[in-house]
Structure 1
Amino acid sequence: MKNEVHEPDFTYGGQYTYADYLQWTIDERLELINGKIFKMSPGPNRVHQSLTGSIYVFLFNFLKHKSCKVFIAPFDIRLPRKSKEDKDIITVVQPDVCVVCDSEKIDDKGVVGAPDIVVEVLSPGNNAKELKYKYEVYEESGVKEYWIVSPQNKTFLIYTLKEGQFQPSKLMTSGDTITTSILPGFVLDLTELFDDLD
């Protein structure tokens, strides 16, 4: 039973794979980055949930009847380095929202391979992890665009992969609109997005 109280079958300093991750039976949400376990922040607050949900809905409505699909956390993204075997994968993340345009990457367990777009909505407990560890694994694995949204500052930053390196956009906020070459025709009005938070 998932609700039973017991000792977890791992230690936070250990090295693990996706095969290990699948065996864990605790209620906490965890991510695995380069074999190391990271606790996810406590349950997201109202503003984080509202912003994440809004971005998901904007993308979902735009992508209806299109080949790209959008997913919202919790949803496992496995980022293999060489082999796609569970025992060889050492990075499993749960971005707030992601867009995947290659249906071959989607299976019953989630996504295996880099999404085209990854969206992380920052919360007070996760900024350092998002900006350092995830930035590195998203860049290395070939995520085409990494969107970082700050509810506290009402800002939106896009890192675009160019020749294997992330290039930052200008810092955008209310009054700006988000477009992306990955989804031609998609427009996200940041005034509309951030005004809903008040």
Structure 2
Amino acid sequence: MEENKLDTVNEPQAEYGMYSYADYLTWQFEEVVELIRGKIFKKAAAAPKRIHQRVSVKLVSKFYHFLEGQKCQVYDAPFDVRFPKGSKEDHKIHDVVQPDICVICNPEKLDDRGCLGAPDLIVEILSPGNSKTELKHKYSLYKSQGVREYWIIHPENQDLLIYTLVDGKYVTTGLLTSGDVVESTAVEGFRLDLEEFFKDIE
């Protein structure tokens, strides 16, 4: 994913040089667009690679069955997550993302348009074109907004990096691969055996 101001997004001019969720709601593009600190980021118009979708579907399924009957809920993209800073008014929200997967345990954050506030857990599944955004821009955004746990999955390498928020800073597990068993701190009791998870993904 590359940072781009789309050619068709010129009017109205963004307030203070930044676009808002109010602007975002008026756009109609083939691309999936996200806002990070008021700047537009776009994903390629083409669908993600098959392996990306395979990982996403399998992981969402595991979260869904684990969380069934609990207050936490899992959602997959496209699903808007808005991060307000002070005001919850649409024109004052400048961060809107569509994580591949997110888990929200506070039902008050959910509305008809998605999630307003930080999910407890966010999963991003890397594709060749979006690694820079996931590893840099979203890392900073999720940390500053209080996302308790941030997973980055590399499907081709079959590995996982987890950042856990501790005293306002992300602490990493280091790279987890086949043979490791993941235990989530944000979703208590959820475990993922990476060897079992990746065995039929290719």
Q: Per the shorter chain, which TM-score range?
A: over 0.9
Deviation larger for 133-142 or 174-183: 174-183
Question: Equivalent residue for 1:61?
Answer: 65
CA contact (8 A) 1:8 1:25 kept: no
Residue 15 of structure 1, CA deviation = 2.1
1:146–1:159 Cα contact (<8 Å) kept: yes
Whether 2:165 is the aligned partner of 1:169: answer no
In 2, the alpha carbon distance for the partners of 1:111 and 1:10 equals: 27
8 Å CA contact 2:149, 2:185 repeated in 1: no
Correspondence for 1:196: 200
Gaps of 5+ in 2: 1-6
1:135 maps to which residue? 139
CA distance in structure 1 between the partners assigned to 2:141 and 2:188 by the alignment: 26
Match of 1:3 in 2: none
Q: How does 1:10-159 map to 2 (within 5 A)?
A: 10=10, 15-41=18-44, 42-159=46-163
Residues 32 and 93 in structure 1, CA contact (< 8 A), matched pair in contact too: yes
Aligned length: 191
* 4+ residue segments displaced more than 3 Å: none
Residue 8 of structure 1, CA deviation = 2.5
Q: Distance in 2 between matches of 1:9 and 1:171?
A: 39
1:9 aligns with 2:9: yes
In structure 1, what is the Cα distance between the partners aligned to 2:181 and 2:43? 30
CA distance in 2, matches of 1:167, 1:181: 12
Contact 2:72–2:106 (CA under 8 A) maintained in structure 1: yes
Q: Work out which of the residue numbers 176, 180, 187 in structure 2 matches 1:183.
A: 187
Aligned sequence identity (%): 49
Structure 1 regions of 5+ residues with no counterpart?
A: 1-6
- For 1:121, the aligned partner's letter is I
Separation in structure 2 between the aligned mates of residue 103 and residue 37 of structure 1, nearest angstrom? 28
